Amino acid sequence: MNKKSLHGKAGEELTAYYLQKSGYSVIRRNCHIGHAEIDIIAVKDDIIAFVEVKTRMTSSYEEAPYALGKAQKERIRAAAERFMLENEIDLQPRFDTALVTLRGDRPIHFDYYDNDF
């Protein structure tokens, strides 16, 4: 596994931990649907959250509005819709973004944006 993959995995682990501590059940990770990947799918009460995790090194930190392009957001929305239909899920979908900043292999900053897109 290359360094970029390891950093991405570290960001996803931190985000999954955050979600679980916040009362969510993580039901899927790295879910491939069509041409899209949804990093984390989590459920709490009547919400199903489709979470995109962006992990950055300190030198390449981006704010959430700039972390996802329009085409990527559309792919994630379409994949989420397909996931909900195929699994007969009747919950309110929400699209969240987690931004994790690492220094080396250690997280130094974490931001979570509910209903980001």
Q: For the chain, which domains are there?
A: 3-113 (3.40.1350.10)
For residue 1, pLDDT beyond 60: no
pLDDT tens digits along 46-85: 999 999 999 888 755 555 445 688 999 999 999 999 999 9
- Residue 28: its pLDDT value, please? 97
- Residue 9: its pLDDT value, please? 86
Determine which helix (DSSP H) or strand (DSSP E) holds 59, and give its type and residue range: none
For residue 4, pLDDT beyond 70: no
- Residue 22: its pLDDT value, please? 98
For residue 45, pLDDT beyond 90: yes
What residue type is assigned to position 2 of the chain?
N
Cα–Cα dist 73/85, whole Å: 18
For residue 5, pLDDT beyond 80: no
For residue 19, pLDDT beyond 60: yes
HSE-CB of 36 using CA atoms within 13 angstroms: 20
- Residue 68: its pLDDT value, please? 80
pLDDT tens digits along 83-111: 999 999 999 999 999 999 888 878 888 99
- Whether residue 10 contacts residue 55, with contact meaning beta carbons closer than 8 Å, is answered with yes
Q: Read off the pLDDT of each residue in 7-29 and give the average, rounded to a whole number.
A: 94
For residue 26, pLDDT beyond 90: yes
